[in-house]
Structure 1
Amino acid sequence: MSIKQLSEIIGVSSSLLSQIERGLANPSLNTLRAISDALNVPIFSLFMTEDNEIGAVEVVKKIDRINIKDGDTEEKNVELRYDLLTPDLKGAIQLCEMILAPGEINSTSLNRHNAEEVAVCTIGEITLILNDKSILLEKGDSVRIEKNTGHRWKNNTKDFTGIIFAISPPIF
């Protein structure tokens, strides 16, 4: 499939797809989902790299993290950042960091995925909206969210907040 054909299917410009392919632009989660759907591949496969040596150790420097989402969403201008902390998505677990601006939520609807998630609040405090229940997590608090449980994150404070979360199996 050509970039032009893919761009027409998912509704983004071929220029944007070319920039994403060359590592010059970071796609939104919605764009990544559209690409994976159009190519009929799991979204995590878009992050895969060539196999590494068995038993090899990979260090991910902060400057080299894969940024999954930063800045504007298709819904509104949101100060939201997701960074992949694991080198890729080949393993059985994915580790990410989410930074959320004051007053922001990470999604306008509840997220559900076929993966277990464990999160720890690392900056400030954050509210976990779990179906119809709100749970306040303060710095150092952690939570496990079972697969297919509706959830989203909200920053009710006047400062940036952050969590580090692990997802197994990888979903991004």
Structure 2
Amino acid sequence: MIGERIRELRTAKSMTATELAKAADVSVGMISQVERGITDPSLETVRRIARVLDTPVFSLFQDVDAEPVAVVRRDRRMDIRSPQGGIVYQRVSSGAGKIEVLEGLLEPGAASSDTGWSHPSDECVVVLTGRLVVEVDGTRYDLKTGDSATFDSRNPHRYLNETSKPVRFLLAVTPPSY
């Protein structure tokens, strides 16, 4: 679905795949593979493409023909990976609503990003298993299984796993924007 949305937005702007690739600083092959559904782009690649297409990141994941009740089967969830490979998000929500729900898996010693990231949303994170450090605007919050944190995503933030075991968490973002 993301590839179809990228192609749709790119062609609406009368932009070639080569122009999009150059402006987003990714290969033409990557754009081609994403648009054809052969590969899933990293979260950083999605952010770059969204900037060039002048659209919010969440709009690339929206299903324009949404059903009144959207069921997302566990084995059909979309993966969103960081370029460093330390974190994987699976989209739990359908992508057609006003809230994005993701299940995150953060590997030992990994972080969701090198530095804090901000976007115009609110987030709520709930730790399912393990320990998670939530860093918001330079302040660290140590969360254990069952703990949660809610914050304004316009403040630079990131997630860190400073343990030797993976941490799983649910993340709700509204409006969707990553």
TM, length-normalised to structure 2: 0.86
Query: The residue matched to 1:159 in structure 2 has which SS?
Result: coil
The corresponding residue for 1:119 is: 125
| Displacement of 1:150 | 2.1
| Displacement of 1:169 | 0.5
Matched, 1:69 2:71: no
Query: The residue matched to 2:119 in structure 1 has which SS?
Result: coil
Q: In the aligned structure 2, how far is the partner of 1:41 from the partner of 1:135?
A: 31
Q: In the aligned structure 2, how far is the partner of 1:49 from the partner of 1:145?
A: 27
Query: The residue matched to 2:146 in structure 1 has which SS?
Result: coil
Partner letter of residue 99 of structure 1?
L
Matched, 1:60 2:66: no
The corresponding residue for 2:92 is: 85
| Displacement of 1:78 | 3.3
The corresponding residue for 1:32 is: 46
Query: The residue matched to 1:118 in structure 2 has which SS?
Result: strand
Answer yes or no: is the 8 Å Cα contact 2:86–2:112 preserved in 1.
no
Matched, 1:148 2:154: yes
- Name whichever of 110-119 and 127-136 sits farther off: 127-136
Q: Would you tell me which structure has more helix in proportion to its own residues?
A: 2
| Displacement of 1:145 | 0.9
The number of residue pairs the alignment matches comes to 164
Q: CA RMSD in A?
A: 1.5
| Displacement of 1:52 | 2.6
TM, length-normalised to structure 1: 0.88
The corresponding residue for 1:103 is: 109
Deviant stretches of 4+, over 3 Å:
none
| Displacement of 1:28 | 1.6
Query: The residue matched to 2:18 in structure 1 has which SS?
Result: helix
Runs of 5+ unmatched residues, structure 1: none
Q: Deviations over 1:136-164 (max 9, x none)?
A: 11101111112412221111111000210
Q: In the aligned structure 2, how far is the partner of 1:78 from the partner of 1:31?
A: 13
Runs of 5+ unmatched residues, structure 2: 1-14
Identity level (%): 31
Q: In the aligned structure 2, how far is the partner of 1:46 from the partner of 1:108?
A: 24
Q: In the aligned structure 2, how far is the partner of 1:101 from the partner of 1:46?
A: 26
The corresponding residue for 2:21 is: 7
